[in-house]
Amino acid sequence: MTWSTIAETSVMRLSPDKRKGMRTEFDYVVVGAGSAGCVLANRLSEDPTTTVALLESGGSDRKFEIKMPLGYPKLFKTEYDWNFTTGKQVGLHDRKLYWPRGRVLGGSSSLNGQIWMRGYRTDYDDWNVPGWSYDEVLPYFQRAEQRLDGSRDGTYGTTGPIYISDLRSPNPTTEAFLQACAELGWTRLEEIDGPDRDGFAPAAVTQRRGRRWSSADAYLRPALRRRNLTVLTNVSVTRVLVEGGRAVGVEYGDAHRVAVRKEIILCAGAIGSPQLLMFSGIGDPEDLNAGGIEVLHRLPGVGKNLQDHLASCVVVHCPLPVTLVAARSIHQLARFFLTRTGMLTSNLGEAMAFVRTGPDEPAPDVELLFAPAPFIDDGQTPPPGHGLTIGATVLRPESRGRIMLNGPELIIDPCYLSTETDVWRQVGALRLAMRVAATDALKSYVGKPMEPYRVADTDEELAEWIREHSQSAYHPVGTCKMGQEDYAVVDSSLRVRGVKGLRVADASVMPNIIRGHTHAPTVMIAEKAADLIKMGGRPRRPQC
């Protein structure tokens, strides 16, 4: 455990003497400095009369592979990653899947694929939670956004702390992918979140001048000079302390405590937040008993409703030596350092298409994500040569899983492909990716299938391949569901039901996964949470 306060550019480690003199009671305690936690630390400390502590299990984000956009797969399974593994997945032939999650300032926004995408109107309207319709959350997206390179159709905000850019050096194969989508009759979009929502576009990325722009960059660094904000790194919170039905503090490490005067906000992510609630005795009594934890407050929905996107990838050899496989060269490194351009500024997922598999779908139900490189085994297997990947994802899967305890052990069970509908939709999605790979536009870049991808003919063969080789798209959500029904963990103001002074504000509160990527919605949730907290739960129009 290290107590540290971050100076503007570096983590300052305090001596035990200074530690003794540090404040141990705050108005607000935010747990987890990820996509959401950094937003709350900033917004709550805007009021100089309020004291805020931000507690993060990981350490500094001053790391080349974090700042350099293409570096993030190198962080997988390192100290910057929680390196979770799911339980055996029956729907995936008993395979256990790797789940990367950021354990560092910025959380998963420090090692994600940098795609900024809000999702669809119908996603939020379908949440069916008062105050969270698309029209009501839109101003919070816009408050966060600052579209660089011109907001082409006025979609994105232009003055917020999160920089959203075009890729500086898109790969030539990415334009070929976009032309392939056009060849199939799909629509080229100005912006993926723009008014026309079915179609394809290059990715808009959270980057500034060719570098990653995480939540820590956008929200935490600008707030660090504030004397009322204390950031503690390498502090793993073990439980929330509840007395008389009210959260009064948190405990970490060897029974160290931080007391809170007003509220604790859990921003530990879709795995960390329900886990902390359970460790604090808040959850389904059956689950708590299995973990040997005394039941303090019965809340059966904690850890349930787990959802994720599953990706099945068409991976092919590329006969031309133009893909990101060439990124590991002195030439590309020099380009990055000297001009902040070149292959190292790629986010990997350079373009995407959102398409409907049938006319009855209220919005696109499949995403095809294009990477100008082979992405095999979560990027952990070195590719045998140049290649391309088209990842196919069903955007609104039916399967629901859970997070639970088995003694001290955490079990993650997303229950992938646990419904027949999900299996055949995934087959349909993969067939679309195969159609794109077979277009004339991509012809000169597409060679033979690259192992373990293999072309299959029948739907049954494809389903079999999907079970053998699909991987997570890294979007777990839903484990502290927001809503009003029995299984809801938080109410529409993100307050933990039945416990005073405790909220959850991160990806875990989404009632249903959105059709898109989950960083932008998480930032939006945190922006709205800050307003709800400041207004004592009463909604108001956000100031953008």
Ligand X SMILES: Cc1cc2nc3c(=O)[nH]c(=O)nc-3n(C[C@H](O)[C@H](O)[C@H](O)COP(=O)(O)OP(=O)(O)OC[C@H]3O[C@@H](n4cnc5c(N)ncnc54)[C@H](O)[C@@H]3O)c2cc1C
The residues assigned a catalytic role are 475
List b or e across 409-421, with b for residues whose CB sees 16 or more CB atoms inside 10 angstroms: ebbbbbbbbbeee
Backbone φ and ψ for 281, nearest 5 degrees, come out as 85, 20
Span of 107-115, 127-135, 285-293, 437-445 interacting with ligand X by CB under 6 A: 107-115
Nearer Cβ to ligand X (102/317): 102
Pairing of strands 229-232, 237-243: unpaired
Is residue 309 at the binding interface for ligand X, with CB under 6 A as the rule?
no
d(CA 483, CA 42): 26
The structure tokens listed for 381 are: 């297997």
Is residue 312 at the binding interface for ligand X, with CB under 6 A as the rule?
no
Distances (CA, A) of 4 to 60, 110, 253, 259, 422: 10, 19, 15, 17, 46
Nearer Cβ to ligand X (54/436): 54
Span of 99-107, 403-411, 435-443, 528-536 interacting with ligand X by CB under 6 A: 99-107
- Which residues, 6 or more positions from 50, have their beta carbon under 8 angstroms from its beta carbon? 27, 28, 44, 228
Is residue 303 at the binding interface for ligand X, with CB under 6 A as the rule?
no
Nearer Cβ to ligand X (237/446): 237
Please spell the DSSP secondary structure of 104-146, one letter per residue: BTTGGGGSS--B-----HHHHHHH--TT-SHHHHHHHHHHHEE
CB of residue 323 vs ligand X: minimum separation in angstroms? 19
Pairing of strands 409-413, 402-406: antiparallel
List 197, 221, 475, 503, residue binding ligand X (CB under 6 A) = 475
List 45, 474, 502, 529, residue binding ligand X (CB under 6 A) = 474
Tell me the number of residues near ligand X by CB under 6 A: 40
CB of residue 90 vs ligand X: minimum separation in angstroms? 24
Applying the rule CB under 6 A, the residues between 399 and 428 that interact with ligand X are none
d(CA 128, CA 407): 36
Q: Angle formed by the axes of helices 459-469 and 420-437, to 10°?
A: 100
Is residue 233 at the binding interface for ligand X, with CB under 6 A as the rule?
no
Applying the rule CB under 6 A, the residues between 485 and 544 that interact with ligand X are 506-507, 517-520, 522
Is residue 34 at the binding interface for ligand X, with CB under 6 A as the rule?
yes
Is residue 53 at the binding interface for ligand X, with CB under 6 A as the rule?
no
Which amino acid, 183? E
Is residue 111 at the binding interface for ligand X, with CB under 6 A as the rule?
yes
d(CA 470, CA 426): 10
Is residue 113 at the binding interface for ligand X, with CB under 6 A as the rule?
yes
Span of 94-102, 180-188, 289-297, 316-324 interacting with ligand X by CB under 6 A: 94-102
Is residue 165 at the binding interface for ligand X, with CB under 6 A as the rule?
no
d(CA 285, CA 289): 6
Is residue 55 at the binding interface for ligand X, with CB under 6 A as the rule?
yes
Nearer Cβ to ligand X (217/446): 217
CB of residue 131 vs ligand X: minimum separation in angstroms? 19
Applying the rule CB under 6 A, the residues between 263 and 282 that interact with ligand X are 267-270, 272, 276
Nearer Cβ to ligand X (348/463): 348
d(CA 412, CA 224): 35
CB of residue 342 vs ligand X: minimum separation in angstroms? 20
Question: Measured at CB, which residue is nearest to ligand X?
Answer: 34
What angle is formed at CA 117 by the lines to CA 116 and CA 122, rounded to 5 degrees? 165
Distances (CA, A) of 455 to 15, 217, 361, 436, 451: 60, 43, 28, 14, 10
CB of residue 56 vs ligand X: minimum separation in angstroms? 5
Where do we find the tokens 């000169």? 444
d(CA 247, CA 250): 8
Nearer Cβ to ligand X (35/89): 35
Nearer Cβ to ligand X (251/398): 251
Cβ atoms of 119 and 529 within 8 Å: the answer is no
List 6, 31, 192, 442, residue binding ligand X (CB under 6 A) = 31
- Which residues, 6 or more positions from 46, have their beta carbon under 8 angstroms from its beta carbon? none
Is residue 379 at the binding interface for ligand X, with CB under 6 A as the rule?
no
Nearer Cβ to ligand X (446/472): 472
Is residue 115 at the binding interface for ligand X, with CB under 6 A as the rule?
yes
Q: How many CB atoms lie within 10 A of CB 247?
A: 24
Please spell the DSSP secondary structure of 519-531, one letter per residue: HHHHHHHHHHHHH
Nearer Cβ to ligand X (164/322): 164
Is residue 102 at the binding interface for ligand X, with CB under 6 A as the rule?
yes
Is residue 103 at the binding interface for ligand X, with CB under 6 A as the rule?
yes
Would you tell me which residues interact with ligand X (CB under 6 A)? 31-37, 55-58, 100-103, 107-109, 111-115, 236-237, 267-270, 272, 276, 474-475, 506-507, 517-520, 522
